[in-house]
Structure 1
Amino acid sequence: MKWTYTIQTEGLTVEQLLRDEWRLSKKQVHELRMAKGILDADETPIRWNEPLAAGTPVVIQLADTVSPHVPEPNPDVSIVFEDDHLLIACKPKGMPTHPNDPGQSGTLLNGVLGYVHAHGGTYAEHVHRLDQGTSGLVLFAKHPVVKNALDRMLEDRQITREYLAEVEGNIQKNGGTITAPIGRDRHHPTRRHISPSGQPAITHYSVTARRKGTTELRLTLDTGRTHQIRVHLASIGHPITGDELYGGAADSAGTYKLHAFRMTFIHPFTGKKLTAQN
């Protein structure tokens, strides 16, 4: 694929653009250099250490990358936002985010790949994941360069994800922050628990509604630990409704009530604020 990027900062070099602005890996920068993948407006290779004027168009040319996963048409997968570089899809409850074994199908990634293939593409990769029982928005990269850039943004907490949950009981405070490290539970293959030796984890919540026997919350995360929201809410005595793994009573629908409803970040290539909601 090929696209044009306009230099935003006076005197920026191609090397600085890739290494400092987009924060690509050393391997990816090296591959782009060897492939002469950065061109000027006439599609002539640019000198990587030459300062460029703000407003200079730079053409990025990438070889097509083929995903190793199985593309699969899936009408249950809806696309909330898409451009040439990334897309945001909504995952239904009960669907895994990605395959865990070669050839596995029926996941959100398989459905997104089916959509991408139907529109002439060959690659899609998830930037983060949701638990199988959690519904909502998942961000996908449509080529390896944006995947690398989005991975760095996620590490630096530049991608804000907001969740809605219904929990058991009446939370007295209107809002708060749960700060408790999370580690593996050695007595269970998938469960996590609060552990002094676990990874730091921070969850912010605010009450949006109170109902008979339950409280509805809006949540944001400073970290992205496995099962973080579920573990943190259970740790304060208010497990998510239906989340039997963490002490919640069984829900009539057999699912727990957690939904990733909004995502906000600055697009790494356009510089524009992007907000998706479902």
Structure 2
Amino acid sequence: MSYGITRTLLKKIKYHGGETLVNGEQSLVNRMLQTGDTVKVVLPPEPENDHVSVSSVPIEIVHEDPNFLVVNKPAGVASVPSHNYSEDSLVNRVKGYYQRRGYANEKIHIVTRLDKDTSGLVIFAKHHFAHSVLDKQLKDRTIQKTYLAIVAGRISSPHFEIYLPIGRTEDSFVKRQVTDTGKMSVTEAWTVCRLAKQTLLRVQLHTGRTHQIRVHMDTIGHPLIGDWLYNPDDHSMARQALHCAEMTFYDPFADRNIHCEARLPEDMRSYINLHKL
């Protein structure tokens, strides 16, 4: 078992100042282990992301321990820096938080991402090993993410699943669509409450395609409220009504599941109160 230690990490340990100890003695990484051996890995120091600017805007921390940081991202903030958002993405804000706290390792490892106008939980790993562990969980689809979404129309079914392939549209780098040439995508949803002409849904993703919830809901005739890309005629909210409300992942360092929740943001709560029956 690798316990999440990848070949890339082993190379960094070997060539950049880390150590591999077996029963307290320095050892090569190809050593054959015996039953009862104790292995200790000393990670090398990680250089900070020099190209990432520091933002002084505070972050809302939902969970923090020596290995992981979970943040509640507000709508309107990009997850990572880009040409248009180079100074104040969530990554910039986390780097500022690390500096203010005086952390020895200020390398930013973002594990999960949200669209700029989607609010909610985002996981950061505090070192390469923790990042490798969660990358594997992402690939194995064992990180559970639950969203709350307000969609157009009143949905009568209390529970439904959508199995439709998603791929790029031919005329847009950003937009996605349901297409036979796309990758199969699975979305499961439960009706939380019905509003006057809308529905609040609890949504769980079983695959992780770009814009998956937005595309699937639009395809079945219930696009997200305020979604400029898939519901452009609706301006009743300033952004798509989508929030990552819960997340559960496994922490192998503490041998426990970590469950995080982020309450519905004010704009979505206000919309629900305004459109109640």
Q: Is the TM-score greater than 0.5?
A: yes
Q: State how 1:14-53 maps to structure 2 within 5 Å.
A: 16=1, 20-22=2-4, 24-34=5-15, 35-39=17-21, 44-46=25-27, 48-51=31-34, 53=36
Out of 44, 66, 74, the residue aligned to residue 57 of structure 2 is: 74
Uncovered stretches (5+) of structure 1, i.e. residues with no partner? 1-15
- Whole-angstrom CA distance in 2 between matches of 1:104 and 1:138: 18
Q: How does the TM-score come out when normalised to structure 1? A: 0.85
- Whole-angstrom CA distance in 2 between matches of 1:102 and 1:94: 12
- Give the secondary structure class of the aligned counterpart of 2:221: coil
Q: How does the TM-score come out when normalised to structure 2? A: 0.85
- Give the secondary structure class of the aligned counterpart of 2:96: helix
- Whole-angstrom CA distance in 2 between matches of 1:194 and 1:155: 22
Name whichever of 264-273 and 131-140 sits farther off: 264-273
8 Å Cα contact 1:36-1:45 kept in structure 2: no
Uncovered stretches (5+) of structure 2, i.e. residues with no partner? 263-277
Q: Which residue of structure 2 lines up, in the alignment, with residue 100 of structure 1?
A: 82
- The sequence identity of aligned pairs, in percent, is 32
Q: State how 1:236-255 maps to structure 2 within 5 Å.
A: 236-247=220-231, 249-255=233-239
Alignment CA distance shift 1:67-1:103 (3 Å): farther
8 Å Cα contact 2:18-2:44 kept in structure 1: no
Q: Which residue of structure 2 lines up, in the alignment, with residue 118 of structure 1?
A: 100
Deviation at 1:41, TM superposition (A): 7.4
Q: Which residue of structure 2 lines up, in the alignment, with residue 158 of structure 1?
A: 142
Superposed CA deviations along residues 46-91 of structure 1, whole A, max 9, x for unmatched, are 464223538x57353332331232221112x211111111101111
AA of the residue aligned to 2:202? R
Deviation at 1:248, TM superposition (A): 5.4
Superposed CA deviations along residues 213-250 of structure 1, whole A, max 9, x for unmatched, are 01110011111111000000011000011113112543
- Whole-angstrom CA distance in 2 between matches of 1:65 and 1:102: 25
Q: Aligned pair 1:213/2:197, yes or no?
A: yes
AA of the residue aligned to 1:134? T
Q: Which residue of structure 1 lines up, in the alignment, with residue 269 of structure 2?
A: none
Q: Which residue of structure 1 lines up, in the alignment, with residue 71 of structure 2?
A: 89
- Give the secondary structure class of the aligned counterpart of 2:142: coil
Report the number of matched residues.
256
Q: State how 1:145-224 maps to structure 2 within 5 Å.
A: 145-224=129-208
8 Å Cα contact 1:78-1:90 kept in structure 2: yes
Deviation at 1:189, TM superposition (A): 3.2
- Give the secondary structure class of the aligned counterpart of 1:189: coil
Name whichever of 251-260 and 136-145 sits farther off: 251-260
Q: Which residue of structure 2 lines up, in the alignment, with residue 133 of structure 1?
A: 117
- Give the secondary structure class of the aligned counterpart of 1:146: helix
